[in-house]
Structure 1
Amino acid sequence: MTETYDYIIIGAGSAGCVLANRLSEDPATKVLVLEYGGSDKSIFIQMPTALSIPMNGTKYNWKYMTLPEPGLGGRQVHCPRGKVIGGSSSINGLVYMRGHASDFDEWEALGARGWRYANCLPYFQRAESWQDGGDAYRGASGPLATNAGNKMKNPLYKAFVDAGHEAGYITTEDPNGHMQEGFGPMHMTVKDGVRWSTANAYLKPAMSRPNLTVITHAMTRRVILDGKRAVGAEYELGGGQRIVAKATGEVLISSGPIGSPHLLQRSGIGPAALLQKAGVAVLHDLPGVGENLQDHSEVYIQYACKEPITLNGKMGLLSKAMIGAEWLLFKKGLSVSNHFESGGFIRSDASLQWPDIQFHFLPAAMRYDGKKPLDGHGFMVLTGPNKPKSRGYVRLRSPEAHEQPDILINYLDREEDREGFRRCLRLTREIIAQPAFDRFRGEEIAPGKDVRSNDEIDAWVRETMESTYHPCGSCRMGEDAMAVVDSDLKVRGVEGLRVIDSSVFPAEPNANLNAPTIMLAERASDIVRGKPLLAASNAAVGIASGIGVTQRSGTPLRTLQH
Structure 2
Amino acid sequence: MSSCGCTNPLNYGPYLANNCGGNSFVLFMALVDAIIRNTCDIGDVCGRVHAWKQPRDEYDYIVIGGGTGGSAVTGRLAENKTHKVLLIEAGPDEPETYQVPGLILSYFTNPLLDWNYRTTDEPVACQGTNGSCLWLRAKMLGGCSVINGMMFIVGIPPDFDKRWKGEGNPGWGWDDVLPFFKKFENNLQIELYSHRYHGVKGPVTISTQYYVPALAEAVIQGAKEAGFPISQDLNGENYLGFAIPQSYIEDGVRVSMAKAYLRPQRLNNNLDVMLNSTATRILINKQKKAYAVQFIYNNTTYTVRARKEIILAAGTINSPKILLQSGVGPKDALDKVGIEQIHNLPGVGNNLTNHVAFGLTYWINSTVESISVTWKTLTDYLNSRTGPLASSGLPITGRIYTKYATPEDPDIQLYFQVSSRKCSRTGDPDEDVDPKQPKSITISAVNLHPKSRGRITLKSANPLDPPVMVGNYLTVKEDEDRVLDGIRLVQRLVNSTTLKDTWKFTYADKVYGECGDKYSFNTDEYWRCAIRHTTDPENHQASTLRMGPVSDKWSVVDQKLRVIGIKNLRVADASAMPVVTTGNINAAIIMMAERCADFIKHSKIQV
Whether these two folds match at TM > 0.5 is: yes
**Residue 125 of structure 1 contacts residue 138 of structure 1 at CA under 8 Å; is this kept in 2?**
yes
Does 2:324 align with 1:271?
Answer: no
Structure 2 counterparts to residues 53-452 of structure 1, below 5 A: 53-72=106-125, 73=127, 74-105=130-161, 106-133=163-190, 135-150=195-210, 152=212, 154-227=213-286, 228-238=288-298, 240-311=299-370, 315=372, 320-349=374-403, 351-352=405-406, 353-362=408-417, 364-365=418-419, 375-437=437-499, 438-446=501-509, 451-452=521-522
Identify the range of structure 1 (171-180 vs 49-58) with the bigger mean alpha-carbon deviation.
49-58
What SS does structure 1 have at the residue aligned with 2:351? Answer: strand
Does 2:92 align with 1:10?
Answer: no
**Residue 103 of structure 2 contacts residue 422 of structure 2 at CA under 8 Å; is this kept in 1?**
no
What SS does structure 1 have at the residue aligned with 2:208? Answer: coil
Q: CA deviation at 1:62?
A: 0.8
**Residue 364 of structure 2 contacts residue 505 of structure 2 at CA under 8 Å; is this kept in 1?**
yes
Give 1:506's aligned residue: 578
**Cα distance in structure 1, aligned partners of 2:479 and 2:226:** 23
Q: CA deviation at 1:283?
A: 0.4
**Residue 190 of structure 1 contacts residue 336 of structure 1 at CA under 8 Å; is this kept in 2?**
no
Q: CA deviation at 1:130?
A: 1.4
**Residue 207 of structure 1 contacts residue 214 of structure 1 at CA under 8 Å; is this kept in 2?**
no
**Residue 302 of structure 1 contacts residue 365 of structure 1 at CA under 8 Å; is this kept in 2?**
no
**Cα distance in structure 2, aligned partners of 1:138 and 1:369:** 38
What SS does structure 2 have at the residue aligned with 1:40? Answer: coil
Give 1:470's aligned residue: 540
Per-residue CA distance 1:429-475 (angstroms, 9 max, x = gap):
01111122221123211559963222100111122222221111100
Q: CA deviation at 1:97?
A: 1.1
Does 2:543 align with 1:488?
Answer: no
Give the alignment partner of residue 47 of structure 1, picking from 81, 100, 125.
100
Q: CA deviation at 1:78?
A: 1.1
What SS does structure 2 have at the residue aligned with 1:292? Answer: coil
Structure 1 residues 49 and 122: CA distance shift in structure 2, 3 A: same
Q: CA deviation at 1:307?
A: 4.9
Q: CA deviation at 1:237?
A: 1.0
Structure 1 residues 351 and 96: CA distance shift in structure 2, 3 A: closer
Per-residue CA distance 1:264-296 (angstroms, 9 max, x = gap):
000000111110111111100110000011111
Q: CA deviation at 1:368?
A: 11
**Residue 357 of structure 1 contacts residue 386 of structure 1 at CA under 8 Å; is this kept in 2?**
yes
Give 2:86's aligned residue: 32
**Residue 352 of structure 2 contacts residue 471 of structure 2 at CA under 8 Å; is this kept in 1?**
yes
CA RMSD of the aligned region, Å?
A: 2.3
* 1:84 maps to amino acid: M
Structure 1 residues 90 and 126: CA distance shift in structure 2, 3 A: same
Give 2:23's aligned residue: none
**Cα distance in structure 2, aligned partners of 1:330 and 1:199:** 25
**Cα distance in structure 1, aligned partners of 2:364 and 2:221:** 17
Identify the range of structure 1 (287-296 vs 158-167) with the bigger mean alpha-carbon deviation.
158-167
Q: CA deviation at 1:373?
A: 11
**Cα distance in structure 1, aligned partners of 2:165 and 2:211:** 35
Q: CA deviation at 1:486?
A: 0.5
**Residue 66 of structure 2 contacts residue 88 of structure 2 at CA under 8 Å; is this kept in 1?**
yes
Identify the range of structure 1 (347-356 vs 228-237) with the bigger mean alpha-carbon deviation.
347-356
**Residue 206 of structure 2 contacts residue 246 of structure 2 at CA under 8 Å; is this kept in 1?**
yes
**Residue 310 of structure 1 contacts residue 378 of structure 1 at CA under 8 Å; is this kept in 2?**
no
Give 2:30's aligned residue: none
Identify the range of structure 1 (94-103 vs 438-447) with the bigger mean alpha-carbon deviation.
438-447
Identify the range of structure 1 (80-89 vs 332-341) with the bigger mean alpha-carbon deviation.
332-341
* 1:333 maps to amino acid: G
Q: CA deviation at 1:54?
A: 2.3
Mark the runs of 5 or more structure 1 residues left unpaired by the alignment. 533-562
What SS does structure 1 have at the residue aligned with 2:281? Answer: strand
* 2:506 maps to amino acid: E
**Residue 351 of structure 2 contacts residue 453 of structure 2 at CA under 8 Å; is this kept in 1?**
yes
**Residue 10 of structure 1 contacts residue 220 of structure 1 at CA under 8 Å; is this kept in 2?**
yes
Q: CA deviation at 1:184?
A: 1.3
Please report the TM-score for the alignment, with normalisation by the length of structure 1: 0.88
**Residue 303 of structure 1 contacts residue 365 of structure 1 at CA under 8 Å; is this kept in 2?**
no
**Cα distance in structure 1, aligned partners of 2:521 and 2:486:** 13
Q: CA deviation at 1:3?
A: 1.0
What SS does structure 2 have at the residue aligned with 1:291? Answer: coil
What SS does structure 2 have at the residue aligned with 1:426? Answer: helix
**Residue 210 of structure 2 contacts residue 385 of structure 2 at CA under 8 Å; is this kept in 1?**
no
**Cα distance in structure 2, aligned partners of 1:368 and 1:477:** 39
Structure 1 residues 167 and 18: CA distance shift in structure 2, 3 A: same
Please report the TM-score for the alignment, with normalisation by the length of structure 2: 0.82
Q: CA deviation at 1:324?
A: 2.9
**Cα distance in structure 2, aligned partners of 1:454 and 1:252:** 47
